[in-house]
Structure 1
Amino acid sequence: MKKALKNFILESDATLEQHDWGTLRWVTNPSVQDVKQITSLVVHLPKSQGHNFHLHPNQEEVIHVLEGSIEQWIGTEKHILNVGDSVFIPANQVHASFQYGEQEAKLLAILGPCAANEVGYEIEDVSTLSPWNTLRQ
């Protein structure tokens, strides 16, 4: 029997994941809706925290800043993004997002196409590899 589609996601019903760098809340993914092309999540980065250098081998990503500011890296290039700013990250491009300033950062991340797993998200951590392990020192 096919599961019922859930087109409306209330924040109180969304799956929340706690990580050592912050939290994420799934907005859309294949395990919640019948999506095939995009997966999206809201990310909270507390003060002095960040999602260290990583890549999504087969997924493009857009990150939009909803609250606060972030230090956004694409490869070895860094920019400070504020509320309303966005960044496009091509597939297989190393990137990282770190909270910047006094306020917690809240981001909307949208990736596509969906990866072939229940959350539609693929990630490869490269934060321990050179040059990514020395860029912020």
Structure 2
Amino acid sequence: MPTPDKMFLYPKDVSAFGFDWGKLSLTVGPEVNGANQFSAGVVDLPQGQGHSRHNHPGSEEIIFVISGNGQQMVEDDDGNPVTRDVGPGCTIFVPDSRFHSTLNTGSTPMQLFVVYSPAGPEKGLRDLPDFRLIPAGS
């Protein structure tokens, strides 16, 4: 069972996964606080940045736009890309194994809250060539 200091976390409390396109601060997950049904965290995308088209085999994803504006692409049932403008309050559901991408098209940073179920897709991010670990509080 997680201790109280692992149940109430801010993004600044955890080390972040840094990339050329932004960062992911994983605040929930097996390695963070013992969550075993899902993992989740905050993604920060600077103006004009975004993550490229990718998928998570065996895992669904929820993306919630906290702030900023952008374009979200998610493949439909036939594998065709569907792109929508998204902003604060928008929830995006990415079905298991569907390709998707996000681009910050606004004039300010974009912040997202992402949830993976089951946990695991975030582990593969460590293998990306531009991955770097950003210490907590940085």
TM-score range, shorter chain: 0.7 to 0.9
One-letter amino acid of the counterpart of residue 121, structure 1: E
Work out the CA distance in 1 between the residues paired with 2:92 and 2:119.
19
Match of 1:107 in 2: 112
Secondary structure of 2:122's counterpart equals coil
| 1:15-57 residue CA offsets vs partner (Å, 9 max, x unmatched) | 2121011111111011111111110010011111101100000
Work out the CA distance in 2 between the residues paired with 1:12 and 1:106.
14
| Residue 112 (structure 1) shift | 0.5
Gapped runs of 5+ residues in structure 2?
76-80, 126-138
| Residue 10 (structure 1) shift | 3.6
Q: 2:91 aligned with 1:90, yes or no?
A: no
One-letter amino acid of the counterpart of residue 87, structure 1: I
Q: Is the 8 A contact 1:54 1:123 kept in 2?
A: no
One-letter amino acid of the counterpart of residue 16, structure 1: A
Structure with more of its chain in helix, by fraction: 2
- TM-score (normalised: structure 2): 0.78
Gapped runs of 5+ residues in structure 1?
125-137
CA gap of 1:4–1:84, structure 2 versus 1, over 3 A, is closer
RMSD: 1.8
- TM-score (normalised: structure 1): 0.79
Task: Count residues in correspondence.
Answer: 118
Q: Is the 8 A contact 2:39 2:115 kept in 1?
A: yes
Higher RCO (C-alpha 8 Å, min separation 6)? 2
| 1:83-102 residue CA offsets vs partner (Å, 9 max, x unmatched) | 00110000100000000121
